[in-house]
Amino acid sequence: MKAVLRLAALSAWSRRLTLGLALVAIALAVTLLLAVERLRVDARQSFTQSVSGVDLVVGARTGSVQLMLYAVFHAGAASNNIGWDSYRTIATHPAVDWAVPLSLGDSHRGYPVLGTSADYFRLFRYGTAEGLRFVEGKPFAGVFEAVLGSEVARRLGYRQGDTITLNHGLGELGPAHGDKPFHVVGILAPTGTPVDRTVHVGLEAITALHLDWVGGAPMPGVTIPAEFVAKFDLQPKEITAALVGLKQRGDVFRMQRFVNQFRGEPLLAVLPGVALDELWQSVGMIERTLLAISALVVLIGLSGLAATLLAGLNERRRELAILRALGAGPAQIFLMLVAEGALVTTTGALLGLALLTLGSMPAAPWLLERFGVVLGTRLPGGEELALLGAVIATGLIASLVPGWRAWRMSLADGLTPKN
């Protein structure tokens, strides 16, 4: 067997240019396949770890997926709001350790504005219980102070000390709150979560912006300048949602039942992990489609290898006939061709894995900054190794065809090739 493998390696080396092209095609196809798999796994992990350490997300009664979309991903609009008194009742429940209010509805140049409390920066967790960090400045303290997510600051070119104005509504064309500008007092470090794409202000700021608004529109002839808003009661009357942490995780279902049966108004409490899994399933077809396309590219590369080996058989008839004349049996010829194809496939698969590993290191920070995907620079996991094994096995199967053709060639056919 060693002699057959050595002969296959020497034969492949003698045709290194032709087989090298097939090897490069396989390596690139395997790199694409493994990259899609790694991105799929890491994107799902980033997606499901957009919020961590939160036991319940509370909002107005709606679907659990819709609640997670606007409360965690700041996408879409709430069907209704929560009364401030209802929020305080939940926040002061004996089972509740902490609660963070969330108020949505305004935007800045297409990015959502989140009204919350200063505790948000201390209590919010993502990933594996990682906290928020500031690259510039500090949390807001005044009414008209804002903290920017990393993507907002990077794409719009903002720095600490800049002045911004907010728009009413979620679109870029909403009416502007131009009479009440905000000062940027802090910029958060990248997190790979919706936090990066959010402008954070205090709850009192949301109330102050709408003091002279009624029914989603400014009051005709009424303007309350920013310097006079402190004379008004800025405590919010309602919020969009709330993040809730419990003293004991064992109370989560009891507290969920308490919220869902709340008598003051119709509310909904969902477990973030369950709702995020449900939300991911709704977009799971996209990842399966990408994986199928990558697998098809690999099959095309392996088909090219089989075609290369088959096309070379006519040129190698005399070589194979000489091997038969020197005592090599049909089985050894068959094994040599199969080993040759398996060697090229295995080398290409390993080269593809090496390209992925080397490419992940510079790509990881770029993906985090541009798309919010935390790409792990790690050794291949079980699923990636399974894909590698499937590629090598498929390459071995593809090599059976030229091996079978070589096995059928007779000694006479090799010594007297047809013109």
Q: Are strands 145-148 and 182-188 parallel, antiparallel or unpaired?
A: parallel
C-alpha distance from residue 175 to each of 57, 106, 109, 168 (Å): 30, 10, 11, 5
What whole-number distance in Å separates Cα of residue 302 and Cα of residue 308? 10
Where in the chain are the domains? 2-47+284-415, 56-270
**Residues 140 and 147 sit within 8 Å (Cβ to Cβ):** yes
pLDDT value, residue 220: 74
Helices 272-282 and 64-71 meet at what angle, rounded to 10? Answer: 100
| Residue numbers in the chain where pLDDT is lower than 70 | 1-18, 46, 171-174, 215-217, 282-284, 309-333, 362-379, 403-419
**pLDDT tens-digit readout, 92-124:** 999 999 999 999 988 998 899 999 999 999 999
Task: Determine how many CB atoms are found less than 10 A away from the CB of residue 302.
Answer: 27
**Residues 136 and 186 sit within 8 Å (Cβ to Cβ):** yes
**pLDDT tens-digit readout, 396-417:** 887 777 766 666 654 445 445 5
pLDDT value, residue 5: 61
**pLDDT tens-digit readout, 23-66:** 888 888 888 888 877 777 777 776 777 788 899 999 999 888 88
